[in-house]
Structure 1
């Protein structure tokens, strides 16, 4: 008996989210994966090809290239980089890019779309808060719901555990967990999140791809359902404590009572991160705006994906402690 595999095209395939999605889907014999990139010769693109992905060149503003990329696709995962310097150079923004990609996918007959979305912060705050990196993605998803897809699913990622590995993020948050302060402490300085301090964490590398995979296994179930991309809920004070336990380093947590005290240095990306806290506080910590932050949905999707991969991999979501043990244990 011939088994017909379904082709899923991944836009943003060499990025952190996209590569996680490609890696997960390729482990399911019922899916074929087409990885879209502007530079097929890059090391990241060649790595995806070595895993079994069909790597195709396409620019997000080139409709002809996109049409070839989406041809024959049953599903598509789309993620765009709102901070892409090429957008600014062209006088365009993430909404322009996302709308063109999504519209082309629909025109090519893609049935099921999973979109890495954002929240309509400006709308929900009645204009009090604007976070373009989230607002523009929300507008793209709204546009997607007007197109002839059979299903559209927005997934909104929580805070990347991988950010803990970036010096720029450490500098934004007082130096934690990479840069000791003048007293020798790895000091974690963050504004309060609001409510019960249910801060959402996710390991993009370990879990995000499986969540998207889980949606594609039953897209009708998740049609127009906001998926919280969360692997663990843990307040900042607890994260600081766990890091100290894992590494034996001197750590401390200092809450910033005013988000304006964050070390933004007048840089746009830092100001957006600050405003994420401002928005979360306005919602009493319910950042995703569809109820309390939770991991049950992600857990369900993760388990479904692991089963579809023949039981390969762990069914449990990565915890902050486990991530730190792997990335920092014995290293510092």
Structure 2
């Protein structure tokens, strides 16, 4: 009998990739997509693509709705978004545990419903990796704290650490005359890990669920390779023939103290320090998408 997996954030990048990957195995998984608004245009679009997915509304700030959404589930894929407006409002008001609280609500609801397996994407703690140099990169701290909470809970945890999304480049582009400019707050010589979140992330979740004894409590990386900003821009030019340039632009990001600390941490340290970088890439059924393949897939993209 197929297992039921409840996917938090099924309309987003991570959750959407999980839905895409697991929907190809209806003999193994029944999927319940969880969203705050199941009447949204995005949900309706996904209903057309995946007609067998059940949709249930839930709010990460409302534990009762989460318990209802997790009823009968064998697996929960949990997702928290530090940049969600409601989280940012609470962070700005001094509630630095806002993201962790939402994650804790998910875990507690899953445990209350007898869910056996919980999959989550943490981030390494900037405080730990930097030996206390960067202590207010709260996006990393809430997710790292939640990983520890999952490990201590009576539920089996599985952890996928994401690199930067290649898809971020689509939102970081603008025209300047006949040239496309990519802008991001990382200096031109800084390499960080990247992944095609749409096509590759869900396959890693599928891998972990296929051998739970092996991957329980493991920390796998969703990463194809390490790239600088200019390398991503050069790949865009190779795919499209359009001149492109990468520029490090930090003014906006550095005007927000916690985001400034986050990117200062990324400039100085590997975003995935201490995470197994090879297991997932070497073991998934479908090879990861590299930067040239990503831009070939998006060769019709224009800012």
Normalising by the residue count of structure 2, what TM-score does the alignment of the two structures yield?
Answer: 0.86
Separation in structure 2 between the aligned mates of residue 201 and residue 228 of structure 1, nearest angstrom: 10
Partner of 2:216: 223
Equivalent pairs counted in the alignment come to 293
Of 246, 265, 276, the residue aligned with 1:279 is 265
Partner of 2:144: 138
Verify the 8 A CA contact 1:232 1:317 in the aligned structure 2.
no
* Gaps in structure 2 of 5+ consecutive residues: none
Shift of 1:201: 1.1
Separation in structure 1 between the aligned mates of residue 236 and residue 88 of structure 2, nearest angstrom: 38
CA change 1:80–1:185 in 2 (3 A) is closer
* Gaps in structure 1 of 5+ consecutive residues: 171-176, 304-314
Separation in structure 1 between the aligned mates of residue 181 and residue 159 of structure 2, nearest angstrom: 36
- What are the equivalent positions in structure 2 for 1:133-282 lying under 5 Å apart? 133-149=139-155, 151-166=156-171, 170=172, 177-180=173-176, 186=181, 190-191=186-187, 197=191, 199-253=192-246, 262-264=250-252, 266-268=254-256, 272=259, 275-282=261-268
Partner of 1:106: 111
Verify the 8 A CA contact 1:122 1:128 in the aligned structure 2.
yes
Partner of 1:297: 279
Shift of 1:330: 8.0
CA-to-aligned-CA distance 1:74-97 (integer Å, 9 cap, x gap): 111101111222235566511111
Separation in structure 2 between the aligned mates of residue 187 and residue 108 of structure 1, nearest angstrom: 45
Separation in structure 1 between the aligned mates of residue 239 and residue 6 of structure 2, nearest angstrom: 39
Partner of 2:6: 9
**What value does the CA root-mean-square deviation take over the aligned residues?**
2.7
Separation in structure 2 between the aligned mates of residue 232 and residue 265 of structure 1, nearest angstrom: 25
CA change 1:71–1:241 in 2 (3 A) is same
CA-to-aligned-CA distance 1:81-123 (integer Å, 9 cap, x gap): 1122223556651111111111111221111111021111123
CA change 1:188–1:216 in 2 (3 A) is same
